[in-house]
Amino acid sequence: MNSLPGRYWRLWTAAGISNLGDGVFIIALPLLASRITDQPASVALVAMFFSIPWLLFSVPVGALIDRSDRRRLLVITDMCRGALVGGLALVAAFSDVRLWMLWVLAFGLGIGEVFFDNGSQAIIPSIVRDDQLERANGLLFTSEVAGSTFLGMPIGSALFGFAVWLPFGLDAASFVIAAMLAASLRGSFRVASSATEPAPAAPGRKQLIAEMREGVDWLRSHHVLRNLTIGVALINIALAATQATFVLFAINELHISEHWFGPLMAIIGAGSLLAGIAGSYVVNKVGRRFTMLVAAITPVLTSLAIGLWPVTWWVILMTTAQAFTITIWSIVAVSLRQQLVPGQLFGRVNSVYRWVSTGVMPVGAVVGGLTADWFGLRAPYFIAAGLLLTAYGVVAVHLSTAELTKAENAVAAAAV
């Protein structure tokens, strides 16, 4: 297997450090929210505010990414995120944190995630070859899970128990370090329509709208990616519905203490870590089509199993299996987009894809919070199972082997 280039490993390191801080933050934020209030809907609003920027800003951000130096964009975004989390650390150290502050912080970090995720996914195809995409994306997921889940979450849980401000201060520092590593990447990461064409000037409002529309039209006309978008949107609504109140589910249903919540998440993350390591091997061994079918049906069964029998060891087993298949699905979905979308359109098309697929997550968070309020903390898992079954239907009916092969052949023909 051909080795990945040095620039990729520098980006991988930056992502790992940033994800270490993210894990600390991800575990500390819901713990802090649950300490402020025990209302599921109020806690779920933190997740809603974090994900709603995808719905509001993803499409225009994609158009800007296609006109920007993607390396510079990553640097600026991480510096801004570091300043936001550092501000909360100062408030927590010297004053009382209010719930509305968590909502504002989640919204600001959500905007940063829109820029960073779209930019980082757009930069990968300019660093590695097409035949290395699944391996590169799988290793990035491994870095994300290892840094966030196995290191960040246990550290965040321990730091939160010692002092509330500490996990947020560490997260702020990780963003700054990641920004410095991203700044060290060599090369040009601005995509033009030809090698001799100069970088475009800053777009006017009408031109920006036209470019946004171009991304919408391209995705809408592409059979594979259009249906992939629908399937992922349904999966994300389901996952958001259960994740929004999982901290309360763990504390009240599984009787997990605050100090053990981080280690619990680390154990569950073993599935994602394994998928990141073995993802490209699995896809190459059994094929994309079969991989997608298994990855789509497994969360249906695990969600039902968790809702029916909320026992700690059983929930750990089911969520670990679910994390494995969801990560495999994500590797396939990201690699397909990077392979099928032209480089000069990737920012716009990817942002429209995320606008739909990730922009629906606030809906899932609200549905999960209200369902837990009205019917109990186990109820969101049954709602999720129904949505996940619908997503499996989309994959089974619309993403056939013939359609996938046709799309790949079209890219090869265009390259020739």
User: Is the backbone of residue 255 left (phi > 0), alpha (psi -120 to 50) or beta?
Assistant: left
CB-CB contact of 222 with 340 (8 Å): yes
∠ CA 332-136-81 to the nearest 5 degrees?
Answer: 95
Residues 374-397 have pLDDT tens digits of 999 999 999 999 999 999 999 898
Which pLDDT score is estimated for 198? 45
CB-CB contact of 392 with 296 (8 Å): yes
Which pLDDT score is estimated for 204? 60
CA 126, distance to chain mean position in Å, is 21
User: Is the backbone of residue 287 left (phi > 0), alpha (psi -120 to 50) or beta?
Assistant: left
The DSSP output letter for 198 is P
Which pLDDT score is estimated for 151? 73
Which pLDDT score is estimated for 194? 40
- Which residue in this structure is represented by tokens 């939160």? 160
Which pLDDT score is estimated for 389? 96
Which pLDDT score is estimated for 298? 94
Residues 344-353 have pLDDT tens digits of 788 788 888 8
CB-CB contact of 322 with 299 (8 Å): yes
Pairwise CA distance, residues 271 & 319, whole Å = 8
What architecture is the 6-185+205-415 domain classified under in CATH?
Answer: Up-down Bundle (1.20)
Length, in residues, of the chain:
416
Pairwise CA distance, residues 391 & 55, whole Å = 20
Pairwise CA distance, residues 410 & 381, whole Å = 40
Which pLDDT score is estimated for 348? 83
Which pLDDT score is estimated for 384? 94
Pairwise CA distance, residues 172 & 97, whole Å = 17
The DSSP output letter for 128 is S
For 311-350, b/e burial (b = at least 16 CB within 10 A) is eeeebbbbbbbbbbbbbbbbbbbbbbbbebbeeebbbbbb
Pairwise CA distance, residues 105 & 271, whole Å = 29
Which pLDDT score is estimated for 138? 78
Instruction: Select from 355, 356, 347 the least CA-distant residue to 58.
Output: 355
Pairwise CA distance, residues 248 & 229, whole Å = 30
Q: Which amino acid, residue 108? A: G
In a structure prediction context, what are the per-residue pLDDT tens digits for the chain, which is 416 residues long? Answer: 468 888 888 888 888 887 788 778 777 887 888 788 877 777 778 877 887 888 888 888 877 787 778 888 888 999 999 999 999 999 988 888 888 888 899 899 888 888 887 777 778 877 888 777 778 877 877 777 667 766 777 788 788 878 888 889 988 998 899 888 888 887 667 655 443 344 454 556 667 778 778 888 888 888 888 999 999 899 999 988 998 888 888 888 888 876 777 677 777 777 777 777 777 788 888 888 888 899 899 999 999 999 999 998 899 899 889 988 888 888 888 888 888 888 778 878 888 888 888 778 888 888 888 999 899 999 999 999 999 999 999 989 888 888 888 877 777 666 66
Indicate the domain borders of the chain: 6-185+205-415
